[in-house]
Chains A and B, each alone.
Chain A
Amino acid sequence: MNWSDLALTPEQISAIELSLRVGLAATFCSLPFAVFVAYALARWNFPGKMLFDAFVHLPLVLPPVVTGLVLLLTFGRKAPVGAFLADHFGIVFAFRWTGAALASAVMGFPLMVRAIRLSLEAVDPRLERAASSLGAPPPAVFLLVTLPLAAPGLIAGAVLGFAKALGEFGATITFVSNIPGETRTIPAAIYTLTQTPGGDMGALSLSIIAAGLAISALVASELLARRMRPRRKVSS
């Protein structure tokens, strides 16, 4: 084994860059939706809530290939929603990195919702009532009280979503294929390398990078959550 084989090729570096871009886009674009859905599930009672909850969790239990297929049939170039978005807003998902971000966002969504919902449920509703009694309108109560108190869970959810996006493979490859520089994320690149004779070392080095990214994301989230937690009594 030659250690210099672990050095990254330009294709691998582009896969890493792409994965980070896809992961960040997926996380930040889906976060507001995840917060909304988590809040609805945590605080509201509405007919069909159980069904809605199950629907949100669907990507977690469906084979990723099926999710990818559903995305393809919905957001593909000729599919109804995909065609509409392309014609009216110029947003194209099919075979673009944006499609990879969409697939990753959908796959990571249930994980984000779960983490955020738990932290929202842990917020004492009496604090929100106290805020209302002080005259704060509902959006202010949410932004100034609920959200800051749920922030550690929000960060945890975002990191989970990000880590999931970095590792997403099945839905992405089904939906947007495996185009170098456009949709070939780290997992797709690893898969391609394992299918190539002599690509094992390249696959290994990308795997090490993937593990490193995932671990740094987790550590960063833990540090952030620790900083946000109310400080313990220091003296006296």
Chain B
Amino acid sequence: MIEVDVALSRGDFDLNVSFASSAGVTALFGPSGSGKSTLIDLIAGLARADRGRIVVGGRVLADSGKGIFLSTRKRRVGLVFQDAMLFPHLNVRQNLRFGAFFAPRGARRLPMGEVVDKLGIGALMDRRPIDLSGGERQRVGVARALLAAPDILLMDEPFASLDVARRRKAMGLVEMTRDQFAIPIVLVSHQIEEVMRLAGQVVMIERGKVREVGAPEAIFASARPENPSERFGVGSSLTCTASDFDAHYGLTRLHHPSGEIFAAGKVAAPGATTRIYVKAVDVALARRPPLETSIRTVLKGRIIRVAGGDGALALALLELAGGEQLYASLTRMAADELRLAPGVEVFALVKAVALDEREMAAG
């Protein structure tokens, strides 16, 4: 259980955030510059709020009203940084021992062997951080934080420096940490994919204020006019091979293992590998191959999960033929009437695609 109620003013930036969460993973979600990392600093005691109260697992870490402000080292917060921040002059074993050595006497300590095994870093123990890959460093960073027996793990964009493939793996790491070590995690992220997959509770922050708190599906599938899923773009990126350009209709045909995708304009040279981005709101689902539809792009896949909540809208996650994933936004009523359950085969009707420049920029 974590309770945060803080206010802070720095120049022309005002932070005023209040939320409580007892989820395994609480995601602080929002655009960059919204104050997510400042919140992490406040919880970790690296910054001091002008006013406020922070309680983690029943321990008061800060309470301006009572003049309580614990230093970082007394807070028992495990920090997992974007670039792991392993001590470069120590090898992996020494880094881990550093975490274990200063763990508070009375705390629930995890055995080093168990942590090392579960995180799969046994073979790295004698290596220096400089000889590790980004993903390996991240695992050692998590292990080091866990060994210090924290009450909570704070992860500030832990995947930002990893490429797309490694990011998927790293998400597995967070899931594993959440499930195996039973330590609450606060995760800072601006990637919907991460939040959807990992978080039990999302605190959406914008310009220093809490915009919304709730389950990820409730937030990203909501139907309000200023729909966050529209604005932040819940969607999926797919890897395709460009086929040919139909000059008459002005369409480029792209090959994907799950079907053919038509994109407006000449998006890529024939034979080129392209990543396209499909917004969840541009995907409709059908149980049978649709006949005589205006939609040219029909992809075959299987339902992995449908996230509903109480709202009108639901979000379905599909695995397409070939292994890539696709989000589809639909009403909860449709999800029920079509009996969309995990494993059900569906056809995804894609209304529009865009070139995925975000993914390309991210490498």
User: Residues on A close to B: CB < 8 A?
Assistant: 124, 126-127, 129-137, 140, 144-145, 148-149, 228, 230-234
Contact = CB atoms under 8 A, between A and B. Distances in A.
Given A129-B72, A148-B89, A233-B131, A135 B104 contact: yes
A127 B46 CA distance: 13
B102 interface: yes
Nearest to A135: B102
B98 A126 contact: no
B87 A233 contact: no
Contacts of B49: none
B295 interface: no
A127 B71 contact: no
Nearest to B76: A135
B77 to A, nearest CB: 6
15 contacts: A126-B81, A127-B88, A129-B44, A129-B72, A130-B85, A131-B98, A132-B71, A132-B72, A132-B73, A133-B44, A134-B145, A135-B102, A149-B89, A230-B130, A231-B128
A234 B72 CA distance: 37
B41 to A, nearest CB: 9
Given A133-B78, A134-B144, A134-B148, A232 B130 contact: yes
A236 to B, nearest CB: 9
A93 to B, nearest CB: 38
B98 A129 contact: no
Given A133-B77, A133-B79, A127 B85 contact: yes
Contacts of A228: 89
A233 B129 CA distance: 10
A134 B99 contact: yes
User: Chain A binding site: helix, strand, loop or mixed by DSSP?
Assistant: helix
Contact of A135 (B88, B128, B131, B148): B148
B103 interface: yes
Given A137-B73, A230-B88, A231-B128, A130 B102 contact: no
A232 B72 CA distance: 32
Query: In this complex, which of B71, B89, B145 has the most chain A Cβ atoms within 10 angstroms of its Cβ?
Result: B89
Contact of B73 (A136, A148, A149, A230): A136
Nearest to B102: A135
Interface string B71-99: 11111111101000101110000000011
Given A126-B81, A230-B89, A136 B130 contact: no
A130 to B, nearest CB: 4
Contact of A126 (B85, B130, B144): B85
A149 B88 contact: yes
Nearest to A234: B131
Contacts of A127: 85, 87-88
Interface in B36-87: 44, 46, 71-79, 81, 85, 87
A233 B132 CA distance: 9
A140 B85 contact: no
Given A127-B85, A230-B128, A232-B130, A136 B98 contact: yes
B73 A133 contact: yes
B102 A140 contact: yes
Given A131-B98, A134-B98, 11 more contacts: A129-B44, A129-B85, A132-B73, A133-B73, A133-B145, A134-B145, A135-B104, A145-B87, A149-B87, A231-B128, A234-B131
Shortest beta-carbon contacts, A-B, top 8: A135-B102, A132-B72, A133-B79, A134-B148, A130-B85, A132-B73, A148-B89, A136-B102
A129 B85 CA distance: 9
A136 B72 CA distance: 9
Contacts of A234: 131
Nearest to A130: B85
Interface in B108-159: 128-131, 144-145, 148
B118 to A, nearest CB: 19
Nearest to A236: B131
Nearest to B128: A230
A137 B102 CA distance: 9
A230 B78 CA distance: 25
Nearest to A148: B89
B98 A144 contact: yes
B205 to A, nearest CB: 22
Nearest to A149: B89
B130 A135 contact: no
Contacts of A148: 89
Nearest to B85: A130
Nearest to A145: B87
A233 B136 CA distance: 15
Contacts of A136: 73, 98, 102
A102 to B, nearest CB: 34
Contacts of B44: 129, 133
Contacts of B73: 132-137
Nearest to B103: A135
A145 B103 CA distance: 17
A233 B73 CA distance: 33
Contacts of B144: 134
Contacts of A135: 73-74, 76, 102-104, 148
Contacts of B103: 135
